[in-house]
Chain A
Amino acid sequence: MTLLAEIALVVLGGIALSVCLALLPGAPPGRRRSQPPVPERPSQLVALERLAITAGSNAVQAHAYLRPRLVEIASHRLVAHGQTLDRMPDALGRELLGDRLWEIVRPERPFPADRQGPGVGWQELAAMLDVLERL
């Protein structure tokens, strides 16, 4: 009985090892094909995406970085109306651009006294762009 059990054990062990042998890899696995690199977004757009967030953080960001861009765009758009931003009367500016956008782009706008004051959030910026696109 003991001899039979030993024979069975050896046979089973041999079968198990044969299975292990069959499962062994025959060659080194090939290098995993690298994923195609994700294309980089243009730096101009990345800077604007960052600006859309940071302009809402405080008044200095909005005045120093967002305002010059809005002034350039508004000046270009107003040319179609025969207007220039520098010589535009306050009332006409408010009429064409709306109170909030005019407040940002008006020529004599001073540097914000309260540096930590409210900036221009992206929702507010979207509303300003609506006005500019309609011009």
Chain B
Amino acid sequence: MSASLSPRVHGLLSLAAFAVIAALATGRPELALMAAPFLILGGAGLVAAGQPCLRVEVAVERTRLLEGEVVAATVRLRNEGARAVDVDLAPARTSQLVLEPSGSLAVHVSGNDEVEVDFTARAARWGAHALGPLRVRARDPLGVAVWEGTLGPRVDLRAFPREQRLRELVAPIRTRPFLGSHVARSRGEGIEFADVRPFRVGDRVRQVNWRATARRGALQVNDRHPEQSSDVVLLLDTFAEARDQASGTLDSAVRAAAGLARAHLARRDRVGVVDFGGTLHWLEPAFGTRQLYRIVDALLASDIAFSYAWRDAASIPLRVLPPGALVLAITPLLDQRSIALVTDLRRRGCDLIVVEVSPFDHIGPGPSASDAVAYRLWRLQREELRARLQALGIGVAVWTRDGSLGPALEGVNAFRRSARHALPV
């Protein structure tokens, strides 16, 4: 802890100097006597002051919570020195972690004594929030010397995003030959009826369609679509975001990504994540509950990283984008690099969906009349961009803050049915 003199010492010395100068100027020794108490007080404080020996422990009710939830925390402050100290405690705060009581906590700790301070913390936003080490400012009882520093262990609160609950998902065009919940285009063992065809050696009796057989006079069997799983890659655009004081498009994007990951993993799909922005992070596709926790942990670290570096689809490792994977790009379409990426991926034959997190919920028109005109022009330009992406066969789901993601994805399914000619086969 770094030691310094309190401003009170400067004040005491100033007052003493003033009294001495006044005594010299007026030739009255009584005034010099008045300086003596200040000098004695300051000197006594300096002599009595000693480096405090403080220990801080932070106990939190739990370290994993959902955004918006509140946890109780206790700071245990132990003074291992002989002298009493006044201490101001300030947990390391971020704007996303709201503490109650707010501000610094002032406590008095006697020598060889211990005090406990209780407070609550509310995670206003998802992410990993550091609660501690605490900033500590200790003063001796006379308020002459001050020691400042950080004490205590680092305690991370991991606030998970509140997910979008999704019932309908975008059906992938290609599937993997493993059991899942998507009706495949191919034919094989399954539930969904596909066609009737003549009997071939090896067909099972239970596949025979007796009505069609009776009508045609030869054995006919039913073909079915198998239920298979697919590979899904969530592409999170962290190049830029639109943000107001309360929230931003990245917040919504992470919620959407967590919800999509959970829904696809529940359908036995392999899910991977690519955090595509100023820095590139990825998680290879895998399945299961463990993968869900990995994905959510990876999403908590997502942040907008400003960068001038140009990145394109070649920056993404091939093993992260398996052939035939359904790529869900969650983006506000605010950066030219992310627009170029989705265009590039589509031109490479990727089965691609864009979940456009609308920036209009967070950004309004500027104050002047010309700004309002520019805002209208921006809206029209984004509509044109959306139409350009759809012309390439990219389904675009526009997700606004007030709406649910499910209906937007249903709109994409309808688009993919009508734009089948533009999609990869």
Chain A bound to chain B? yes
Determine whether B68 belongs to the interface, using a CB cutoff of 8 Å to chain A: no
| Cβ < 8 Å to B, chain A residues 2-47 | 6, 9-10, 13-14, 17, 20-21, 24-28, 30, 36, 39-45
Neighbour of B370 across the interface among A6, A13, A24, A49, CB < 8 A: A49
Q: Which residues of A contact B314 (CB under 8 A)?
A: none
Question: Roughly how many angstroms separate A25 CA and B137 CA in the complex, as a whole number?
Answer: 15
Q: Which of B126-134, B237-245, B317-325 contacts A (4 or more CB under 8 A)?
A: B237-245
B384 interfacial contact with A, CB 8 Å? yes
* Bound form: Cα–Cα A40–B243 in Å: 7
Would you call B334 and A44 a contact (CB within 8 A)?
yes
Count the B residues whose beta carbon is within 8 Å of the partner chain — how many? 47
Give bound CA distance, A117 to B6, whole Å.
67
**Are B373 and A39 in touch, CB under 8 angstroms?**
no
Tell which of A81-89, A98-106, A122-130 binds the partner. A122-130
Contacts of A75 in B (CB 8 A): 384
Q: In the complex, what residues of B have CB within 8 A of residue A43's CB? A: 240, 334
**Minimal Cβ-Cβ distance residue in B for A47:** B374
On whether the beta carbons of B378 and A48 are closer than 8 Å, the reply is yes
A76 engages B378 (CB within 8 Å): no
Known: A26-B6, A72-B381, A72-B384. A17 touches B15 (CB 8 A): yes
Instruction: Mark out the residues of chain B between 316 and 372 whose CB falls within 8 Å of any chain A CB in the assembled complex.
Output: 334, 359, 362-363, 366, 369-371
For chain B, residues 97 to 115, give those with C-beta under 8 angstroms from any C-beta of chain A.
Answer: 104
Q: How far is the CA of A10 from the CA of B36 in the complex (A)?
A: 13
The answer to whether B375 has its CB under 8 Å from any CB of chain A is yes
Footprint of A on B, CB under 8 Å? 4, 6-8, 11-12, 15, 19, 28, 30-31, 34, 38, 88, 90, 95, 104, 137, 139, 143, 146, 240, 242-245, 248, 334, 359, 362-363, 366, 369-371, 373-378, 380-381, 383-384, 387-388
For the complex with contacts A24-B7, A44-B381, 18 further pairs of A-B residues with Cβ separation under 8 Å are: A13-B19, A27-B139, A28-B6, A28-B7, A39-B362, A42-B334, A42-B359, A44-B334, A52-B377, A69-B381, A72-B381, A73-B377, A73-B380, A73-B383, A76-B384, A76-B388, A125-B373, A125-B377
